[in-house]
Amino acid sequence: MKALLILGALAFLAGCSMAPEKPDRPLKDDYTYLNAYLDWTLEDERRQHDIAAISVMVVDSQNVITKHSSGMADRDRDIPATQDTLYRIGSVTKLFTAISILQLVDQGKMDLDAPLQQYLPQLQLQTPYGASSVTVRQVLTHHAGLPSDMWDGFAENRALDQLIPLVNEQYLSYAPGEVFSYSNVGYALLGLAIEQTSGQAYPDYLQEHIFRPLGPKHSTVGVADQLLAKAYLKLDEQDYPQIRDQAAGDISMSAADLAKFTQVMLRNGEYQNPQGEIKRLISAATFKQMVTPQNGQSPLYQDMPMGLAWFLFYPRPELAGLPVRWHGGATHYFHSSLITLPKQDIAIVVLANSAEAYESVSRIAEQTTRLAFEAKTGQLWPAKTQLDKQPMTLSEEELGRLQGRYISPALGEIHVSVNNKKIVATNEDGKVTLIPYADGTMGVEYKALGALTFDNDFFDQLRLIPMEYQGQLVIKEQNGGVVAQQFPVTPLSSHWQQKLGRYQHQNPDDLYDFSEVTLEDSDGLIRMTLFNEANDYRQILYFNPISSERAINIGLTRSSGDSLIASSTDGDTRLRYLGMEFHRQAQ
């Protein structure tokens, strides 16, 4: 028996490769270890996480530093992935949409600070701030207050202009310029503005003004190209979902072509056309705006600098220490990450074609960025900043202010209490201790299994900041979004009490089809549960009633701030939310 176990273990180990040994110090312009790492990690990530294919390219502004592909673009036909394999790049599409807008700005056909409605007169937003309050610049930086997504029809091949009637039914989620709220809707509307201003369909505009001048071999909008990698879930091939919001996420592109575009970005918008002439994709002054923080006046998000489409920060701590420009993408079964280090003249492209690849793409992109930096410069990646760990004792008044109920889009209902001056936050999944520090932040100590403390890197780097926003206490992540908002416990109004109960989803589609919808009282707030039985998927949303017919999805981040609209006719109560319609069932 022991012999069989040993043989089994040896067989298992034979199927696993060991990570290459990293040198103690990097050598300038020596990419030996980076290449060995990529050879190993692509295979390792694919094997561990059932990923069909991954492609990686590392470039500087002039040259390809290295390129690696692993796995199959088409498993049934045994077609391996290469640098010329097309992948859906998801939201990296937004960079191309932004370039298109900026080209029209350079031509004097658009103005960044003009109302979006000037280019889309049919857009009639429901807002107390005025329909003209939303500017093109605010949409490009995700600070326009527009809904993040319109769920109805998102994954259907509908005409893009069908989006506007849906948006016209909605209220702005936030005051323009106030809150960073990532918006596919906003970029879809920018795509329409490109069409109406240029007189060309969005795919045609990209082909004429971006793809053709740069000379890429394998770039398109949509899924029609024969070189597009197949989509996989658990290594089973899936149909390509359609994307209505093309300008937000529907470009398909090879790693080689995306790397070529990225080289143009490293050259501040300069490229060489097929005739050998040096041209500019956008003017130097406009490019400078694209990569300059635009949201410095936003009270909540000054530590998350946004350019025009570019994230001028990296949303995870793994790349803390150096300025980056980043954009990622996720389109159902495809994942992408594009990272540039402009000062070091380095860019990394990572693409994959499997639903399970999100974390793998992130890990590979992060580690490749660090290793490429070290190989190019001969220096170690900067050490993480040591965060302040000097504890601070809060006054009774400060402790009392922190206590209460909070609502978090990600964590649900949280209750903060104080016992012997120890601050404890509890939700249905467990509890954490919050530790005030002298710099005004709070650290997090997570305990489970009795006295065992998890002192991992995530909690060690996490810092929370309590702050007042519009008369309400909110908890914000340092260099991140708002985590939770404080709400008092109050009775729910009689108008909404009468609307509680079970509802039926009236207009389901392939992506959003809820078999059970319920509305419940949550101590003065409304708790909506959306359940898809086929996928065993459950989503819980909290709404704050602001009138007898309207409630707001709680949160100051993506997919929050949207309106739930109620109406009643002859005793039939109906709800509308992001284009979806629900009818109340007989109780």
Examine the pLDDT at 225 and tell me if it is beyond 90: no
Q: Is residue 83's pLDDT more than 60?
A: yes
Q: Given a cut of 90, is residue 228 above it in pLDDT? A: yes
Angle in degrees, CA 82, 352, 331, rounded to 5? 130
Inter-residue contact 352 to 363 (CB < 8 Å):
no
Distance of alpha carbon 580 from alpha carbon 262, whole angstroms: 38
How confident is the prediction for the chain on average, in pLDDT?
A: 90
Short-list 110, 85, 79, CA closest to 97: 110
3-state SS track over 475-511: EEECCCCEEEEECCCCCCCHHHHCCCEEEEECCCCCC
Residues 6+ apart with CB under 8 A from 226: none
Where does a domain end: 477, 506, 532?
477
- On the question of pLDDT at 106 being above 50, the answer is yes
Alpha-carbon distance values, 152 to 111, 505, 577 (Å): 31, 11, 9
Q: How far apart are CA 362 and CA 365, in angstroms?
A: 5
Domain boundary among the residues 308, 343, 377 is at 377
In this structure, the answer to whether residues 434 and 550 fall within a common structural domain is no
Question: Is the whole model's pTM more than 0.75, yes or no?
Answer: yes
Looking at the fold, whether 255 and 359 belong to one and the same domain comes out as: yes
Tokens of 177: 């310029």
Check residue 291 and report its DSSP letter.
T
In a domain, 15, yes or no: no
The burial of 141, by beta-carbon neighbours within 10 Å (0-12 exposed, 13-18 middle, 19 or more buried), is given as: buried
What's the confidence (pLDDT) of residue 274?
78
Region of 388 on the Ramachandran plot (φ > 0 left; ψ -120 to 50 alpha; else beta): beta
Burial 423-444 (b: 16+ CB within 10 A, else e): bebeeeeeebebbbeeeebbbb
Residue at 283 is within a domain: yes
Residue 209 has which token pair? 């003004």
Asked if 435 and 575 sit in the same domain, the reply is no
Out of 80-89, 108-117, 221-230, 558-567, which region has the weakest mean confidence (pLDDT)?
221-230
pLDDT digits (tens, 9 = 90+) for 465-475: 999 999 999 99
Q: Between these two residues, 157 and 476, which has the higher pLDDT value?
A: 476
Same domain, 441 and 578: no
145 neighbors 181 (Cβ within 8 angstroms): yes
What residue has token string 């996928």? 535
- For range 111-134, the mean pLDDT: 88
**Domain C-terminal end among 443, 477, 511:** 477
CATH label of the domain that carries residue 258 = 3.40.710.10
pLDDT confidence bin for 13, thresholds 50/70/90: very low
Q: Are residues 426 and 365 in the same domain?
A: no
Phi, psi torsion values for 49, nearest 5 degrees: -125, 15
Instruction: Identify residue 90 by its one-letter amino acid code.
Output: G
What is the domain range of residue 297? Answer: 87-377
Lowest mean pLDDT among 146-155, 201-210, 280-289, 420-429: 146-155
CA distance 76 to 537: 30
Top-confidence range, 327-341, 376-390, 571-585: 327-341
- Identity of the amino acid at 576: R
Indicate whether 343 belongs to any domain: yes
| Three-state DSSP class for residue 107 | coil
- CA-CA distance, 524 to 545, in Å (whole number)? 8
**Segment 169-183 mean pLDDT:** 90
Residue 365 lies in a domain: yes
> Residue 369's pLDDT is what?
98
Could you tell me if 101 and 189 lie in one domain?
yes
DSSP-assigned beta bridge partners for residue 514: none
Q: How many helices (H) and strands (E) does the chain have?
A: 15, 30
Q: How confident is the model at residue 149 (pLDDT cuts 50, 70, 90)?
A: confident
Ranges 154-158, 233-237, 280-284: which has the least confidence = 154-158
Same domain membership, residue 268 and residue 121: yes
| Number of folded domains that form the chain | 3
User: In angstroms, rounded to a whole number, what is the distance separating the alpha carbons of residues 188 and 165?
Assistant: 13
Instruction: Tell me: do 421 and 454 sit in the same domain.
Output: yes
User: How confident is the model at residue 17, as a pLDDT?
Assistant: 66
Least confident of 251-265, 308-322, 343-357: 308-322
DSSP output for 302-346: TTS-B-SS-BSS-SSGGGTTS--EEEEEEETTEEEEEEEETTTTE
- Does position 2 have pLDDT exceeding 50, yes or no? no
pLDDT tops 60 at residue 7: no
- 3-state SS, 185-235, equals HHHHHHHHHHHHHHCCCHHHHHHHHHHHHHCCCCEEECCCCCCECCEEECC
Per-residue pLDDT for 452 more than 80? no
DSSP 160: G
Q: Sorting pLDDT into bands at 50, 70 and 90, what band is 162?
A: confident
pLDDT of 579 reads 86
**What confidence score (pLDDT) does residue 1 get?**
41
> What mean pLDDT do residues 427-444 have?
91
Kindly report, residue by residue over 317-369, the tens digit of the pLDDT: 888 888 999 999 998 899 999 999 999 999 999 999 999 999 999 999 999 99
**What residue type is 287 in one-letter code?**
F
Q: Verify that 403 and 343 share a domain, yes or no.
A: no
Same domain, 271 and 181: yes
Strand 482-486 versus strand 404-408 pairing type = antiparallel
pLDDT at residue 484 tops 50: yes
Euclidean distance between CA atoms 435 and 398, whole angstroms: 13
Half-sphere exposure of 9 (CA within 13 A, CB side): 6
Is 552's pLDDT higher than 50? yes
Is pLDDT at 16 greater than 80 in this prediction? no
Rounded CA gap, 139 and 562, in Å? 16
Q: What is the CATH number of the domain that holds 514?
A: 2.40.128.210
Domain presence at residue 43: no
Task: Report pLDDT digits (tens) over 485-543.
Answer: 999 999 999 999 999 999 999 988 877 899 999 999 999 999 999 999 888 889 999 99
pLDDT(11) > 50: no
User: Do 176 and 126 share a domain, yes or no?
Assistant: yes
Residue with the larger pLDDT of the pair 533 and 99? 99
pLDDT for position 559: 86
Within-domain flag for 268? yes
Going by pLDDT thresholds of 50, 70 and 90, the confidence category of residue 152 is confident
Q: How confident is the model at residue 157 (pLDDT cuts 50, 70, 90)?
A: low
Positive or negative, the Cα torsion across 70, 74, 80, 81? negative
Please check the confidence at residue 457 and state whether its pLDDT lies above 70: no
Give φ, ψ of 178 to 5 degrees: -95, -50
551: confidence class by pLDDT, cuts 50, 70, 90? very high
407 pLDDT exceeds 50? yes
DSSP letter (8 states) at residue 386: P
Residues 6+ apart with CB under 8 A from 570: none
Instruction: Report, as an integer, the average pLDDT of 60-83.
Output: 97
Angstrom CA distances, 426 to 175, 412, 502, stand at 31, 10, 28
Q: Are residues 175 and 203 in the same domain?
A: yes
